[in-house]
Amino acid sequence: MANSTEVNSTDEIRMPVRESSRTPGTTNRLQNDLISDGYVVIRDVLTPEQVERLRSVSKEYLRSGGKYLYGGKFQLHAMYVVDEVARFMTSDTILNRLKEITRPLDVVLTGECDLMINTTSSWHNDIPHHPRCADGSIFSDENFKVYKIAFYLQDQDENSTATLKVRPRSHLKGLVQSLPAKGLGVRAGDAIIFDVRIEHAGQMPTLLDRGLRKFFERIGPLLRLDVQKTFTVTRSIIRRLGRTPDRVAVFMTFGPSDAETYSYAEEGRHRHPGVRGTLSADVLAQLAVNNIVPPIIGAPA
Ligand SMILES: O=C(O)CCC(=O)C(=O)O
């Protein structure tokens, strides 16, 4: 059912919908869909002006900042380096949605917050290093509720090669290539929230991308080229010649304040021990008002 036109039941949720389930012990529709399918799309979270601003801040930063990677550029833990991204990702608009998902528990931000432009990505999940991935126990753990919120800052049709693809329900099964894939059609301003265990893929590398990367990997060391940079620059020339618009996105990982989220974040912290960041006083104040401790990954060891 690749690129199915079937719609996940929450695909049509529009802002500002407040489906609070204030009764303890009950779950709301966002929570139910995430638990069963492993992803939801929430429409119109951002205004066109917010999309425009976030896109321009991200592009401006990535012009000189970030790392050449996967055929594009990438900034890990972006909220520590771009204050406007931190402000944006911790705004009431976004935190209120996250609270709906983590309630009745508080929101925990793990500190993972990626900014990217024109990167490629094949099928994967975001927990390959988690100790409980090896024996598969993480996939049957119904208490594991760690999610990523993704903003793609351009329209991405469900059949476009650029759009995020998921294998619904694979978050409960592990890497299962036999499950049908679904392209998530979004408009700039929509949010996609997905379980970090779900199998997903972004803009897949084309045959040309694969060929170029192999070629640069072979000749790079001989010519003392930075392979990743050369690959990215070549792709960007090809994109420009083909008038392909930039593909820009921002991601942030979060979960409820429980043992599973803390353990996921700790594992990330060990993998990125060098990441030490500061958040502005305004961002820290906004987190405090919302009962959110500063993200674990950026905290001093
Ligand atoms: O480039 C994309 O859309 C995929 C992003 C992704 O795989 C991730 O954030 O884990």
Please tell me the number of Cα atoms within 13 Å of 157 on its side-chain side: 3
Give the count of beta carbons closer than 10 Å to the beta carbon of residue 25: 6
Q: Which atom of ligand 1 is nearest to the CA of 116?
A: 1
- DSSP H or E run through 221: helix 207-223
How far does residue 202's CA lie from ligand 1's centre (Å)?
5
Domain-embedded: residue 218: no
Kindly report the pTM of this predicted structure.
0.90
Q: Which atom of ligand 1 is nearest to the CA of 114?
A: 9
Nearest CA to ligand 1 atom 5: 202
Tell me, using a 6 A CB cutoff, whether residue 119 lines ligand 1. yes
Domain-embedded: residue 59: yes
pLDDT of residue 58 exceeding 80? yes
**How far is it, in rounded angstroms, from Cα 143 to Cα 141?**
5
Q: Which atom of ligand 1 is nearest to the CA of 124?
A: 7
Nearest CA to ligand 1 atom 2: 202
Coil, strand or helix: which one is 169? coil
- DSSP H or E run through 69: strand 67-69
pLDDT, tens digit, for every residue of 198-251?
999 999 999 999 999 999 999 999 999 999 999 999 999 999 999 999 999 999
Cα end-to-end distance, the chain, whole Å? 46
- Give the pLDDT confidence score for residue 15 in this predicted structure: 36
Helices and strands, number each (H, E), in the chain: 9, 10
Domain-embedded: residue 262: yes
Confidence grade of residue 10 (pLDDT, cut at 50, 70, 90): very low
pLDDT, tens digit, for every residue of 138-171?
999 999 999 999 999 999 999 999 999 999 999 9
- Give the pLDDT confidence score for residue 131 in this predicted structure: 87
Nearest residue to 165 via CA among 146, 147, 185: 185
How far does residue 23's CA lie from ligand 1's centre (Å)?
34
How far does residue 121's CA lie from ligand 1's centre (Å)?
6
Task: For 173-206, give the DSSP string.
Answer: TSS-TTSPPEE--B-BTBEEEEETTS-EE-S---
Domain-embedded: residue 264: yes
Contact between 248 and 133 under an 8 Å Cβ cutoff? The reply is: no
How confident is the model over 102-109, as a mean pLDDT?
96
How far does residue 119's CA lie from ligand 1's centre (Å)?
9
**How far is it, in rounded angstroms, from Cα 90 to Cα 105?**
17
Domain-embedded: residue 270: yes
Nearest CA to ligand 1 atom 9: 251
Contact between 89 and 134 under an 8 Å Cβ cutoff? The reply is: no
Nearest CA to ligand 1 atom 4: 202
How confident is the model over 176-183, as a mean pLDDT?
88
**Domain tally for the chain?**
1
Domain-embedded: residue 79: yes
State the residue range of the domain holding 136.
28-143+192-203+247-289
Domain-embedded: residue 168: no
Tell me, using a 6 A CB cutoff, whether residue 71 lines ligand 1. no
> pLDDT exceeding 90 applies to what percent of the chain?
77
Size of the chain, expressed as the number of residues it contains: 301
**How far is it, in rounded angstroms, from Cα 184 to Cα 172?**
19
Tell me, using a 6 A CB cutoff, whether residue 189 lines ligand 1. no
Pick from 116, 200, 204, 209 the residue to mutate for probing ligand 1's pocket: most ligand atoms within 8 Å of its CB: 200
Domain-embedded: residue 154: no
- Give the pLDDT confidence score for residue 178 in this predicted structure: 79
Give the count of beta carbons closer than 10 Å to the beta carbon of residue 64: 7
Residue 37 or 179, more confident: 37
